[in-house]
């Protein structure tokens, strides 16, 4: 599942800114749910007040009432987003064209009375991108929706098409009317085109999950295709100001995915893969949650348009690498909770250590094994994950956290799945390599599990770890019991020693407000664009010496109120600050305003590096070689 919330859900807005249906009527036949089908019609031509009309035409019902749902949660997001909040003017229409009584039970549920007379339902959909600055917990952009008349439609279909209670497993037909000049990009299977309706695209899905598992983007075509072994890859780019094209990004993407396929070897769960890249212009009504959301044969990636090609390619490289590896887990290897996902009352799996942790680990490991990054780069990435993992509860059971991820205090620790989750897999990888004489690792384990399971064959959630232990070694069971099921932190130094590495600490120069291109501050669009000190990162000496903390809202600096304009000027001025300059910074911490004073000094950051030891043993050298080279 991944939306990489840990890295992207709070976008680095400041850094970017600075750098820079008709029914079938009474002709219906009463059929069983197993043979029924639903026609969903989406009108992208006649947009009204930035909303689109949707009509769902089901088969006839044999019950007096029926409930209709729009998802509360979708796979990969691990959050309650309540997409039904964006549905308006919901109507249930009978065969004579009159309205049936409808009871709205909650944000996402409508109960239709006299359902035996139901012909179709009709409603309007508002998009989520417009509201991201208005709500405290916005829908993560890659799982959100966009309605930009005549220019772009991001159809994450869980925001447009719902399901009837008990009919989640029946086929759907989507009929989407679109303006001239806008072309759809999706992995969804195309249906038979009606020659009398050239402006209407038809797509088919075997069940509701296939509908929401296949996003569609309509935009002016900027699409490239390339072949990676036996996988046909489509890259589609929406760049509102034309800064980027699919052609300009194709080469880097192709190189990266070739490396991924070489790393995976004979793991192959798809013959086609679609990358949908949406670039935001960063205005108040556009997407601001940067990252991606995985699907079985596609991913939606959202990034800012106002960055350099180099930075965009770097961000896409790591993000898509993570998303593509989800074809292994949870898209191939997953539990019943994932296979039979309840969109409105989800039961979560205990295995985020694998769904997200393994995927994030592979996204880094493949790069060192395929020669795309150096050993030093790989070590640095691991140490960054160690440092970031310390900002979360390191004594929290990972399986308990996963099972309860929609609730606090587990919810606020979610992003650790990308940090400690990856490190769990690193430790597991080294243990497996050591116990097998270098022959077996986490990739081997995933291959073995993928042979047993697949898209339609889930495992029992509480039996997976025992199964892994039976496949491997008793010591692996001890590792899981202590560090994954249990709450004992991992001793990373012990693992560095196994592979002949050690840590060293040094001071590194930074800017006052940036470490290279990584900002220490950000903007909260849901709080009147307030400037705040970022949480979950190591702060430099400038902020530490002042006594600033992550989450502090910067109200003023030297008597000047902070806003986007003033903070940009301040950052520019800071490049010429004298170390003896005195500064007064007023911050809001919770409900209190606190005045921080001190000299700006020379900003530094304590960095822990991972380096090879001198004179490693043969065992250490061999284990490191097996780990890094596979």
Q: What structural domains does the chain harbor?
A: 33-134+156-206 (2.60.40.3650), 328-500+614-629 (1.10.390.10), 511-602 (2.30.42.10)
Calculate the dihedral angle through the C-alpha atoms of 529, 532, 535, 539, rounding to the nearest 10 degrees: 140
Map residue 498 onto helix, strand or coil: helix
Residue 27: the pLDDT is 38
pLDDT tens profile 287-306:
988 999 989 899 999 999 98
How far does the chain reach from its first CA to its final CA, in angstroms? 25
Q: At what angle do helices 420-435 and 618-629 cross, to 10 degrees?
A: 120
Q: What angle do CA 209, 303, 233 make, to 5 degrees?
A: 55
Digit-coded pLDDT (tens) for 448-460: 999 999 878 999 9
Predicted pLDDT at 6? 33
Unique residue bearing structure tokens 């997409």: 83
What's the pLDDT at 476? 98
- What is the 3-state secondary structure of 540-593? CHHHHHHCCCCCCEEEEECCEECCHHHHHHHHHHHCCCCCCCEEEEEEEECCEE
In angstroms, the CA 322 to CA 328 distance is 11
Query: What's the pLDDT at 239?
Result: 97
Show the CA angle centred on residue 149, arms to residues 148 and 152, nearest 5°. 50
- Rounded Cα distance between 420 and 373, Å, is 21
Is the predicted pLDDT of residue 63 greater than 60, yes or no? yes
User: In Å, how far are 14, 216, 420, 584 from 428, measured between CA atoms?
Assistant: 38, 37, 12, 48
> Over 90: is that where the pLDDT of 568 sits?
no
Global pTM reads 0.85
For residues 450, 456, 459, 461, the Cα torsion angle rounded to the nearest 10 degrees is: 120
Peptide bond into 206 cis (omega under 30): no
Strands 163-164, 102-106: pairing is: unpaired
The mean per-residue pLDDT over the stretch 575-602 comes to 96
- The pLDDT tens digits of the residues spanning 142-160 come to 999 999 999 999 999 999 9
Whether 176 and 200 have beta carbons less than 8 Å apart is answered as: yes
Q: What is the mean pLDDT of residues 327-333?
A: 89
Q: What are phi and psi of 608, to 5 degrees?
A: -100, 120
Distance between CA atoms of residues 208 and 213, nearest Å:
9
| Sign, CA torsion 446/452/456/460 | negative
pLDDT tops 90 at residue 13: no
Contact 473, 439 (CB under 8 A): no
Average pLDDT over the chain, rounded to whole? 91
Section 79-86 average pLDDT:
94
Q: What is the DSSP string of 324-348?
A: HHTTTTTTTS-BHHHHT--SSS---
> What span, in angstroms and rounded, lies between the C-alpha atoms of 377 and 472?
30
Beta bridge partners of 375: none
DSSP 276-324: EEEEE--STTS----EEEE-SSEEEEEEESSS-HHHHHHHHHHHHHHHH
Beta bridge partners of residue 87, listed in sequence order? 125
Residue 269 confidence class, pLDDT cut points 50, 70, 90: low
Closest CA to 417 of 469, 367, 472, 484: 484
What distance in Å separates the CA atoms of residue 350 and residue 504, rounded to the nearest whole number? 35
In this prediction, residue 427 has a pLDDT band, given cuts at 50, 70 and 90, of very high
At 441, the pLDDT band (50, 70, 90 cuts) reads very high
Least confident of 7-16, 31-40, 52-61: 7-16
* Coil, helix or strand at residue 454: strand
pLDDT of 401: 97
Average pLDDT, integer, range 49-66: 95
For residue 352, pLDDT over 60 is answered with yes
The predicted-structure confidence for 192-211, as pLDDT tens digits, reads as follows: 888 788 899 999 999 999 99
The DSSP secondary-structure symbol of 407 reads S
Rounded Cα distance, 122 and 21, in Å: 7
Residue 331 CB partners (closer than 8 Å, separation 6+):
269, 294, 295, 296, 455
Strand order of the β-sheet with 38-48 is: 99-100, 87-94, 118-126, 51-57, 38-48, 172-177, 200-205, 189-190
Q: Identify the helix (H) or strand (E) that includes residue 243.
A: none
373 vs 627: CA distance, rounded Å: 15
| Whether pLDDT at 31 is above 70 | no
Indicate the pLDDT class of residue 262, thresholds 50, 70 and 90. Answer: very high
Which contiguous run of DSSP H or E holds residue 210?
helix 208-212
pLDDT value at residue 386: 95
Taking only the tens place, the pLDDT of each residue in 487-539 is 999 999 999 999 999 999 989 899 999 988 789 998 887 788 899 999 878 89
Of 74, 77, 89, 32, the residue nearest 162 (C-alpha): 74
107: which strand partners?
none
pLDDT over 70 (residue 585): yes
Which residues pair with residue 532 across a beta bridge?
A: 522, 553
| pLDDT score, position 268 | 67
Reduced to 3 states (helix: H, G, I; strand: E, B; else coil), residue 617 is coil
Q: DSSP string of 68-95?
A: EE--S--TTT-S---GGGGEEEEEEEET
């Amino acid at each position: 599942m991944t939306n990489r919330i840990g890295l992207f859900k709070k976008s680095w807005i400041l850094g970017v800114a600075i750098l820079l249906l008709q029914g079938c009527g009474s002709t219906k036949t009463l059929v069983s749910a197993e043979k029924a089908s639903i026609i969903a019609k989406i009108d992208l031509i006649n947009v009204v007040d930035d909303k689109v009309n949707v009509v769902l035409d089901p088969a006839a019902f044999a019950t007096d009432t029926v409930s209709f749902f729009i998802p509360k949660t979708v796979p990969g997001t691990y959050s309650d987003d309540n997409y039904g909040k964006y549905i308006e003017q919901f109507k249930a229409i009978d065969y004579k064209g009159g309205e049936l009584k409808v009871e709205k039970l909650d944000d996402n549920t409508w109960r239709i009375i006299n359902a035996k007379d139901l012909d179709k339902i009709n409603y309007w959909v508002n998009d989520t991108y417009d509201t991201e600055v208005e709500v405290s917990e916005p829908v993560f952009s890659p799982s959100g929706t966009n309605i930009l008349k005549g220019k772009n439609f991001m159809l994450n279909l869980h925001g447009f098409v719902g399901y009837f209670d008990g009919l989640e497993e029946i086929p759907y037909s989507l009929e989407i009317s679109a303006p001239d000049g806008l072309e759809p990009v999706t992995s969804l299977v195309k249906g038979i085109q009606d020659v009398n309706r050239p402006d209407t695209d038809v797509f088919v899905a075997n069940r509701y999950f296939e509908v929401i598992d296949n996003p569609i983007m309509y935009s002016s075509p900027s699409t490239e295709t390339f072949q990676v072994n036996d996988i046909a890859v489509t890259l589609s780019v929406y760049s509102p100001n034309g800064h980027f094209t699919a052609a300009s990004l194709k080469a880097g993407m192709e190189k990266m995915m070739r490396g991924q396929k070489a790393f995976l070897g004979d793991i192959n769960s798809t013959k086609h893969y679609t990358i949908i890249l949406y670039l935001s212009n960063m205005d108040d009504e556009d997407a601001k949650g940067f990252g991606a959301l995985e699907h079985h044969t596609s991913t939606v990636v959202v990034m800012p348009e106002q960055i350099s090609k180099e930075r965009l390619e770097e961000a896409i490289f790591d993000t898509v690498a993570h998303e593509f590896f989800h074809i292994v887990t949870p898209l191939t290897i997953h539990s019943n909770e994932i296979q039979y996902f309840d969109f409105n009352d989800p039961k979560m799996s205990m295995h985020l250590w694998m769904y997200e942790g393994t995927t994030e680990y592979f996204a880094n490991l493949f790069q060192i094994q395929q020669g795309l990054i150096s050993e030093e780069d790989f070590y640095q990435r691991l140490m960054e994950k160690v440092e970031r993992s310390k900002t979360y509860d390191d004594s929290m059971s990972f399986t308990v956290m996963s099972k309860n991820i929609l609730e606090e205090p587990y919810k606020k620790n979610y992003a650790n799945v990308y940090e400690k989750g990856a490190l769990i897999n690193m430790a597991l990888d080294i243990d497996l390599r050591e116990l097998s004489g270098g022959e077996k690792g986490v990739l081997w384990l995933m291959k073995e599990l993928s042979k047993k399971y697949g898209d339609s064959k889930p495992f029992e959630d509480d039996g997976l770890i025992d199964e892994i232990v039976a496949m491997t070694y008793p010591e692996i069971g001890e590792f899981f019991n202590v560090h994954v099921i249990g709450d004992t932190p991992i001793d990373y130094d012990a693992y560095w020693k196994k592979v002949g590495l050690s840590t060293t600490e040094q001071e590194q120069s930074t800017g006052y407000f940036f470490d290279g291109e990584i900002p220490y501050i950000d903007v909260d669009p849901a709080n009147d664009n307030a400037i705040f000190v970022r949480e979950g990162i190591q702060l430099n000496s400038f902020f530490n010496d002042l006594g600033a903390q992550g989450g502090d809202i910067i109200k003023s600096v030297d008597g000047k109120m902070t806003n986007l304009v003033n903070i940009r000027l301040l950052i520019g001025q800071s490049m010429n600050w004298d170390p003896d300059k005195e500064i007064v910074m007023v911050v809001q911490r919770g409900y209190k305003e606190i005045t921080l004073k001190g000299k700006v000094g020379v900003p530094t950051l304590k960095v822990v590096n991972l380096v090879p030891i001198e004179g490693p043993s043969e065992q250490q050298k061999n284990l490191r070689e097996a780990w890094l080279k596979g």
